């Protein structure tokens, strides 16, 4: 049993209770309205009793649990309420899940990013369930006149053994709701978990497979208009002139105008990334009419000159960020990166005497790795709904950062935060793209101008050419081996446009006596942002492919080579600031070694291994690949994961499968290139994503069981699989792959 | 604008739209059938897959004027109770992550199984290759199709 102080204040409860009278339920009028099985099968209570902001208990024992965080496919809408239900001790089949409203007085960190929802939500979610359970027990104790300590709970029932009394949660809910919030509550022992650690199906599954409206793009409201934007065709350009004569006269068109989503002097938040604040807007009755009218716009664009943007920082101040003029080209980018990599960068970490180690080395290995810009390409293109009136703004749609974007909308349309209501719809993918919500500001400005409810829709081309892309990266690795093939020196110099992918304190830092990490970056006007496992999504694959080559040069098995280094890092670490736990890192390698029968004959298939630690979770992959008609095809991915307690195994496994497929797909096929500032790929005819025929035939996922508090899974399975793929490709073809995507033109290995 | 009488999910529906309007937008904007998804608009991702006389068809490039008396089935009409074997298999395998592409995947899978009740792995991959899943649920999709096939 763990005692936990309840940090949910009285204020939160009062506020929730006040909301419960009206606004609270109203805010669910759309998102909560489309009930399907199995919820339909549950009899609805006559009355609900809110025990805290996370949950309410019906008089019949049915429980509604709020899912606080945005759902982007990482399954938090199921797994977060599971944690509440566990501590409440309710039967999962009597639980209804609702997407919570944005309310940061009650809910902590309503953000989907950094694989942190479960990790940072863990205590608060448990506390919410445990607090309610405590109050129900107190209510029963008073009703039955027995000590609360003698009352046990099980699956939504309260029992008092000595007197033989029993009652359902629903019978005590009314009395419990009137009680004070306890100062501290008991949490279950892990061994008593009945829901956490068991597989529970996606609560939205029935709605997804029957096509019920769940996504932002599905939202509609009476009188709603459709809006689309036209932005500059190239990064580095701005609007010069608009001729909308023809577009205006087309059927179904209400208005055409230009907007600035962000004013020039507005201090942007980190999530306000947008290269195209000046937009031409077409508003009309239906999507097809607006699409056609937009094609009829005659727009002229011109290059902008060097300027700067004010971006606010977390300390409350602001920085001026330079935006260079010019129309950028990928070929030039590659030349510039190669050139920068020849010069010393900024030293971020240095252990020992790397120069001496390399000078005295028996063998030096140096390799260079690159990767292109990537577009996120969520399957649901960017979109948002807004209805802005003089005294309030209602916004509905897909956003990973509702709390932050509420501030941007507030600043732009001049309404205070409390007048702005953002509802989170299920998202057709996030991958980091929906951390950046310029489209919320855009639709709010459009609705304010139109004085009407408006849904803004991006086409795939808009989405792909108006991105917050994964930057393009470059890394040079050098390793020094002594005459006995020990790794005595390690040097990484990594950079990119416009940021470096380096994590200087990650493995193998801490495992090598002489270590040097340098980084550099080149300015650009192409907008970038977080993409599933930012920076790790490149540097892990590069590092793990390099270590494979070093192990080979040292004549060592690639798993044993890593385990030896990790043992060094655990027993006698170099430096003090190493960003990993060597024993857990080694643990996933040992697990994947065992589960893949590493070292045994795998006739006809070629194997590669890799491991990485990011976003608080350890993952190792062994990848089996075969050549089929001259093309590589992944036969199986063995994936070993240490994310501590696995809350919902079926969904956690799904995320590891998907992360592996996604990593393989991007490394193999995807890339965004630029010609004179224009993205060369703007739809799936040219931008390649992995498809059924190219996906691994199987993914086996294994979790380390250690009872440690859980960490996230949205990102960690993605980065290392790229290294495992590169290493398997080498075994299959005898050729190392250094530049992503590995398949050029999607058809042949580079 | 022109009036079209369409047979959708077994019901006659009338819409007054520009003849070039793709069926996708007729369904989504004019008939409030939003289960059919917009993904690319050029028939490259499969999110908008419907059945046209039982055949999997990309509705985003299908002008409403080309339909005539052909029968349209959307995800909403695949089964009355959401219990088509493919839908059930999808739930059994807990296939979706974000879920956005899954209606299109299910429509492609249902059309495949109608024509070929026990497809091989290769036949599944060929039939499903036009449907992108950005979350990478391909392995589960194949498992679900195998569950729903008569080989199982």
Indicate the domain borders of chain A: 2-210, 221-308+382-457, 534-749
Burial of A710 (0-12, 13-18, 19+ CB in 10 A): buried
| Whether pLDDT at A21 is above 50 | no
Question: Quick one: which H or E segment has residue A564?
Answer: helix A558-571
| Whether pLDDT at A528 is above 60 | yes
pLDDT tens by residue, B35-75: 999 999 999 999 999 999 999 999 999 999 999 999 999 99
A619 near A716, Cβ under 8 Å? yes
Confidence of residue A189 (pLDDT cuts 50, 70, 90): very high
A656 near A713, Cβ under 8 Å? yes
Confidence of residue A34 (pLDDT cuts 50, 70, 90): very low
Burial of A21 (0-12, 13-18, 19+ CB in 10 A): exposed
pLDDT tens by residue, A371-395: 999 999 999 999 999 999 999 999 9
| Whether pLDDT at A601 is above 80 | no
**By the CB < 8 Å criterion, does A74 face chain B?**
yes
Q: Note the pLDDT of residue A677.
A: 98
CATH classification code of A2-210 = 3.30.365.10
Q: Which residues contact B33 (CB under 8 A, 6 or more apart)?
A: A211, B8, B9, B27, B74, B76
Residue with the larger pLDDT of the pair A31 and A613: A613
On chain A, the residues whose CB falls within 8 A of the CB of B100 are: 215, 378-380, 428-429
| A664 half-sphere exposure, CB direction, 13 A CA radius | 39
| Whether pLDDT at A515 is above 60 | yes
- H runs (alpha helix) in A296-343: 330-340
Confidence of residue A162 (pLDDT cuts 50, 70, 90): very high
**By the CB < 8 Å criterion, does A295 face chain B?**
no
A interface mutation test: which of B30, B119, B139, B144 has the most A CBs within 10 A?
A: B139
Confidence of residue A687 (pLDDT cuts 50, 70, 90): very high
Structure tokens at B17: 């739209």
Q: Note the pLDDT of residue A27.
A: 28
| Whether pLDDT at A5 is above 80 | no
Q: Is the ipTM of this complex over 0.95?
A: yes
Mean pLDDT, rounded, for A265-289? 96
β-strands A63-67, A95-99: how paired?
A: parallel
Confidence of residue A26 (pLDDT cuts 50, 70, 90): very low
CB contact under 8 A, A379 and B97: no
* Chain B, nearest residue to A687 by Cα: B44
pLDDT tens by residue, A167-177: 999 999 999 99
Structure tokens at A511: 């495992």
A116 near A109, Cβ under 8 Å? yes
Our CA-based measurement puts residue B31 at a distance from the nearest CA of chain A, in whole angstroms, of 12
Confidence of residue A319 (pLDDT cuts 50, 70, 90): confident
CB contact under 8 A, A657 and B121: no
* Chain B, nearest residue to A398 by Cα: B98
A interface mutation test: which of B72, B110, B134, B141 has the most A CBs within 10 A?
A: B134
Cα separation, B48 vs B101, in Å, equals 8
**By the CB < 8 Å criterion, does A183 face chain B?**
no
Going edge to edge, which strands form the sheet with A95-99? A48-52, A55-58, A63-67, A95-99
Q: Which residues contact A104 (CB under 8 A, 6 or more apart)?
A: A110, A403
Nearest alpha carbon to residue A727 among A480, A336, A367, A353: A367
Window 222-281 of A: residues touching B by CB (8 A cutoff) are 226, 251
> What is the Cα gyration radius of chain A?
28
**By the CB < 8 Å criterion, does A221 face chain B?**
no
Cα separation, A379 vs B45, in Å, equals 9
Give A435's DSSP letter: G
On chain B, the residues whose CB falls within 8 A of the CB of A657 are: 136-137, 139-140
pLDDT tens by residue, A261-271: 999 889 999 99
pLDDT tens by residue, A41-91: 678 999 999 999 999 999 999 999 999 999 999 999 999 999 999 999 999
* Chain A, nearest residue to B24 by Cα: A288
Asked whether the domain spanning A534-749 has the same topology as the one spanning A221-308+382-457, the reply is yes
* Chain B, nearest residue to A78 by Cα: B97
pLDDT above 70 as % of chain B: 99
pLDDT tens by residue, A119-143: 999 999 999 999 999 999 999 999 9
On chain B, the residues whose CB falls within 8 A of the CB of A682 are: none
Give B28's DSSP letter: I
Cα separation, A596 vs A602, in Å, equals 10
Nearest residue, CB atoms, B134 vs list A37, A429, A650:
A429
A352 near A409, Cβ under 8 Å? no
- H runs (alpha helix) in A145-282: 169-177, 205-210, 245-248
| Whether pLDDT at A732 is above 90 | yes
CB contact under 8 A, A286 and B30: yes
CB contact under 8 A, B35 and A211: yes
CB contact under 8 A, B139 and A426: no
Mean pLDDT, rounded, for B1-6? 97
Least confident of A58-62, A306-310, A386-390, A439-443: A306-310
A interface mutation test: which of B28, B77, B94, B129 has the most A CBs within 10 A?
A: B94
Q: With the CA atoms of B57, B63, B68 and B74 taken in that order, what torsion angle do they form, in degrees rounded to the nearest 10?
A: 40
Beta-carbon contacts below 8 Å between A and B: 193
Our CA-based measurement puts residue B67 at a distance from the nearest CA of chain A, in whole angstroms, of 17
| Whether pLDDT at A19 is above 80 | no
Domain A221-308+382-457 sits in CATH 3.30.365.10: yes
Three-class DSSP labels, B36-52 = CCCCCCCCCCCCCEEEE
User: What domains lie within chain B, and their CATH numbers?
Assistant: 2-76 (3.10.20.30), 85-148 (1.10.150.120)
pLDDT tens by residue, A535-548: 999 999 999 999 99
Architecture, CATH, for domain A534-749 = 2-Layer Sandwich (3.30)
pLDDT tens by residue, A618-639: 999 999 999 999 899 999 999 9
pLDDT tens by residue, A608-621: 999 999 999 999 99
Window 378-437 of A: residues touching B by CB (8 A cutoff) are 378-381, 426-431
CB contact under 8 A, B74 and A211: yes
* Chain A, nearest residue to B34 by Cα: A218
Q: Note the pLDDT of residue A465.
A: 98
Mean of per-residue pLDDT scores for chain A: 93
Q: Note the pLDDT of residue A212.
A: 97
Our CA-based measurement puts residue B111 at a distance from the nearest CA of chain A, in whole angstroms, of 15
Mean pLDDT, rounded, for A571-578? 96
CB contact under 8 A, A211 and B98: no
* Chain A, nearest residue to B1 by Cα: A251
pLDDT tens by residue, A79-103: 999 999 999 999 999 999 999 999 9
Q: Note the pLDDT of residue A9.
A: 42
A415 sits in the region (left: phi over 0; alpha: psi -120 to 50; else beta) called beta
CB contact under 8 A, A211 and B76: yes
Give A74's DSSP letter: S
Window 659-678 of A: residues touching B by CB (8 A cutoff) are 659-662, 665
Cα separation, A479 vs A546, in Å, equals 9
On chain A, the residues whose CB falls within 8 A of the CB of B30 are: 286
Q: Note the pLDDT of residue A620.
A: 98
A interface mutation test: which of B138, B143, B147 has the most A CBs within 10 A?
A: B138
CB contact under 8 A, A379 and B36: no
pLDDT tens by residue, A471-498: 999 999 999 999 999 999 999 999 999 9
A67 near A100, Cβ under 8 Å? yes
């Amino acid at each position: 049993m763990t005692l936990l102080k309840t940090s949910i204040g009285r204020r939160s409860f009062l506020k929730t209770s006040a909301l419960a009278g009206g606004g609270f339920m109203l805010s669910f009028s759309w998102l909560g309205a489309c009930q399907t099985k199995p919820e339909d099968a549950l009899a609805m209570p006559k009355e609900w009793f809110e025990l805290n902001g996370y949950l309410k208990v019906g008089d019949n024992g049915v429980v509604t649990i709020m899912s606080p965080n945005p759902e982007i496919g990482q399954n938090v809408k199921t797994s977060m309420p599971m944690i509440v239900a566990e501590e409440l001790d309710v039967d999962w089949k009597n639980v209804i899940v609702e997407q919570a409203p944005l309310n940061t007085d009650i809910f902590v960190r309503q953000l989907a990013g950094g694989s942190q929802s479960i990790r940072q939500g863990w205590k608060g979610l448990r506390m919410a369930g445990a607090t309610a359970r405590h109050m129900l027990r107190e209510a029963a104790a008073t009703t039955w006149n027995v000590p609360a300590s003698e009352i046990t709970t099980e699956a939504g029932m309260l029992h008092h053994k000595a007197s033989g009394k029993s009652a359902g949660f629903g019978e005590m809910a009314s009395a419990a709701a009137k009680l004070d919030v306890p100062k501290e509550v008991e949490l279950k022992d892990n061994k008593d978990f009945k829901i956490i650690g068991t597989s529970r199906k996606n609560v939205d599954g029935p709605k997804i497979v029957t096509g019920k409206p769940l996504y932002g793009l599905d939202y509609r409201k009476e009188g709603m208009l459709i809006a689309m934007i036209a932005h500059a065709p190239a990064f580095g350009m701005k609007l010069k002139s608009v001729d909308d004569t023809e577009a205006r006269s087309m059927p179904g068109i209400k208005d055409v105008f230009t907007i600035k989503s962000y004013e020039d002097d507005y201090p942007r938040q980190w999530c306000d990334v947008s290269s195209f604040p000046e937009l031409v807007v077409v508003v009309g009755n239906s999507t097809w009419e607006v699409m056609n009218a937009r094609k009829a716009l005659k727009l002229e664009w011109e290059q902008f000159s060097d300027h700067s943007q004010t971006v606010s920082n977390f300390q409350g101040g602001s920085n001026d960020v330079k935006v260079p003029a010019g129309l950028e080209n990928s070929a030039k980018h590659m030349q510039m990166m190669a050139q920068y990599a020849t010069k010393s960068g900024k030293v971020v970490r240095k252990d020992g005497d790397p120069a001496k180690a390399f000078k005295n080395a028996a063998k030096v290995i140096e390799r260079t790795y690159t990767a292109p810009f990537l577009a996120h390409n969520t399957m649901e293109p960017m979109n948002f709904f807004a209805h802005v009136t003089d005294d309030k703004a209602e916004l509905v749609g897909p956003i990973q950062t509702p709390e932050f974007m509420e501030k941007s909308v507030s600043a732009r349309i001049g309404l205070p935060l409390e007048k702005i209501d953002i509802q989170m719809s299920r998202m057709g993918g996030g991958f980091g793209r929906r951390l950046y919500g310029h489209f919320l500001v855009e639709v709010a400005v459009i609705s304010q101008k139109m004085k009407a409810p408006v849904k803004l829709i991006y086409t795939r081309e808009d989405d792909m050419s108006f991105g917050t892309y994964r930057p393009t990266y470059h890394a040079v690795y050098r390793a020094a081996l002594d005459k006995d093939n020990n790794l005595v020196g390690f040097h990484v110099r990594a950079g990119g446009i416009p940021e470096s992918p380096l994590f200087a304190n990650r493995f193998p830092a801490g495992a090598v006596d002489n270590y040097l990490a340098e980084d550099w970056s080149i300015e650009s006007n192409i907008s970038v942002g977080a993409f599933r496992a930012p920076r790790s999504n490149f540097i892990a694959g590069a590092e793990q492919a390099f270590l494979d080559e070093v192990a080979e040069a040292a004549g060592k098995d690639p798993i044993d080579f890593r385990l030896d280094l990790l043992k060094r890092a655990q027993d006698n670490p170099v430096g003090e600031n190493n960003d990993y736990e060597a024993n857990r890192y080694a643990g996933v390698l040992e697990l994947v070694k065992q589960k893949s029968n590493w070292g045994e004959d795998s006739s006809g298939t070629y194997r590669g291994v890799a491991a990485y630690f990011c976003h608080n979770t350890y993952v190792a992959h062994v990848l089996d690949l075969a050549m089929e008609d001259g093309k590589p095809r992944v036969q199986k991915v063995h994936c070993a994961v240490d994310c501590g307690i696995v809350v919902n195994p079926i969904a956690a496994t799904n995320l590891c499968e998907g992360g592996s497929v996604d990593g393989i797909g991007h490394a193999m096929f995807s890339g965004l290139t630029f010609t004179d500032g224009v993205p060369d790929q703007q739809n799936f005819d040219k931008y390649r994503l992995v498809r059924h025929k190219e996906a691994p035939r199987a993914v086996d996922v294994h979790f380390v069981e250690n009872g440690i508090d859980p960490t996230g899974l949205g990102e960690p399975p993605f980065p290392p699989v790229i290294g495992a793929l590169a290493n398997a490709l080498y075994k299959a073809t005898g050729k190392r792959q250094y530049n992503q995507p590995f398949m050029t033109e999607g058809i042949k290995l580079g | 604008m022109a009036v079209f009488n369409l047979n959708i999910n077994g019901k006659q529906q009338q819409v007054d739209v520009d003849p070039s309007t793709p069926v996708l937008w007729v369904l989504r904007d004019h008939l409030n059938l939003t289960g059919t998804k917009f993904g690319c608009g050029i028939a490259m991702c499969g999110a908008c897959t419907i059945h046209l006389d039982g055949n999997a068809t990309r509705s985003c490039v299908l002008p409403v004027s080309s339909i005539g008396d052909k029968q349209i089935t959307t995800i909403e009409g695949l089964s009355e109770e959401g219990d088509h074997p493919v839908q059930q298999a999808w739930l059994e395998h807990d296939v979706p992550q974000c879920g956005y592409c899954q209606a299109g995947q299910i429509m492609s899978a249902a059309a495949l199984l109608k024509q070929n009740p026990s497809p091989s792995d290769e036949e599944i991959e060929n039939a499903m290759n036009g449907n992108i899943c950005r979350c990478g649920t391909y392995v589960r999709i194949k498992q679900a199709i195998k569950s729903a096939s008569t080989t199982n």
